Amino acid sequence: MKDDQTNPHRRGFLKAGAAAGLASGAGIARAALTRTPADDAQRQVEPFYGAHQAGIVTPQQSHTYMAAFDVKTESRDELVALLRAWTLASARMARGDTAGALDTPDDKPASDSADILGLGASALTITFGFGPTLFKTSDGKDRFGLAAKRPAALVDLPRFNGDQLIPEKTGGDIMIQACANDAQIAFHAVRQLARMGTSANVTSIRWGQAGFLSGPKGQTPRNLMGFKDGTNNPSTSQPPLMNQFVWADGADAPWMKGGTYTVVRRIRITLEHWDTMELGFQEQVFGRHKYSGAPIGKKKEFDAVDLDTADKDGNPAIAENSHVRLSNHMTNNGMQILRRSYSYNDGTNFYIERWPPWRQETEYDAGLIFVAHQSDPRTGFIPINTKLAKFDMMNQFTTHVGSAIFAVPPGAKEGSYIGAALFEA
């Protein structure tokens, strides 16, 4: 957001007398000199209300906190009341305010933890999604009368080859994704909404995950393996591509028109193993040059991927089981998904190596929070990942331990709430 120099909140004092003009000019000059890019980033505001939810095609922020919730109540009215409260609180936090007013009596819990006072919005976006179990539980129960409104595209994800899913990191009735250019602001947003759901006895946290993003502004970020992640995304600046690959048309579920389907996968990477691999092998795994991001045989990141060129020995220059070849739209019937992933680092784990000699080993608990938005996962993520799970060379370094899918409805209008068309239509 551009700074408005007429804003009454800008600091500076006018002094009386003949020196008033000079003093004012000097004050403005000093303010301009002391203002930093970090200040501008803290003041940046992304609108909460709109045709689409923010946090999907919004320029990717540097931090996220994602969480999935189980709905405890069986009262539709209680759930709708929470969604209304969440919407109002989210709109407040997105503009840099607290989740609730700070006028709580001393003998009552405060409406906000207050750990972000003075930090600004930092481009905070808060995105909501509904999981398959909100429409019908695993035992077939339709708790809220929504089963008939479940979109056909909101499928239960299949178990892919090599999955080692942890139940506590998988699924969920409702997703909340908070993204911001400050880690504390992203976590604060989910924390406040979680507290509201708990105090109302409507929701409880199923899983949560913090993530971060590294890379110069405007450039493709790099993952923990050192490669650029998301080079082949469809351009978010081209509405026709977004309409084709990201936004749902709502054909069988009108309440989803303008929404999207989001797949979240928690992928652990054995960095200790990866870091011992030769550079050339790493590049063959990805099908790209590590430093430039260019496809193998090319010079620039966005050079076209050439899947037909052979190397000096007659083999494909981009290996048949490389990540780029298997995930490229040219080998997937032209389909594309919008990746908006984040890295994570949850410290270290240790285990006992039981093959002689017995010894204790320590390893990183780190990897990728894979996030993909698409108009239909049945033609997007599922067929692409089915192929990757079977053949991708990268599988020897990765393990999928968490998985979820959500229907992310369109944005809310002021005075309404997220998911209103689902519950009121």
Residue list for the binding site for protoporphyrin IX? 288
CA distances from 47 to 213, 248, 363 (A): 22, 21, 41
Cα 287 to Cα 281: distance, rounded to the nearest angstrom = 10
Cα 352 to Cα 362: distance, rounded to the nearest angstrom = 9
Annotated binding site for heme b: 323, 339
Backbone φ and ψ for 364, nearest 5 degrees, come out as -75, 140
Cα 372 to Cα 22: distance, rounded to the nearest angstrom = 55
Cα 424 to Cα 406: distance, rounded to the nearest angstrom = 20
Annotated binding site: 288, 323, 339
Angle between helix axes 76-94 and 183-199 (nearest 10 degrees) is: 150
Report the half-sphere exposure of 309 (CA within 13 A, side-chain side): 12
Cβ partners under 8 Å of residue 2, min gap 6: none
Integer distance in angstroms from the first to the last C-alpha of the chain?
A: 36
Cα 47 to Cα 3: distance, rounded to the nearest angstrom = 16
Cα 318 to Cα 304: distance, rounded to the nearest angstrom = 12
Cα 167 to Cα 181: distance, rounded to the nearest angstrom = 30
Exposure string (b/e) for 189-205, b if CB count within 10 Å is 16 or more? bbbbbbbbbeeeebbeb
Collapsed DSSP state (helix, strand, coil) of residue 343:
strand
Residue 310 is given by DSSP the state B
Cα 372 to Cα 60: distance, rounded to the nearest angstrom = 13
Residue 262 is given by DSSP the state E
For residue 287, the cross-strand partners are: none
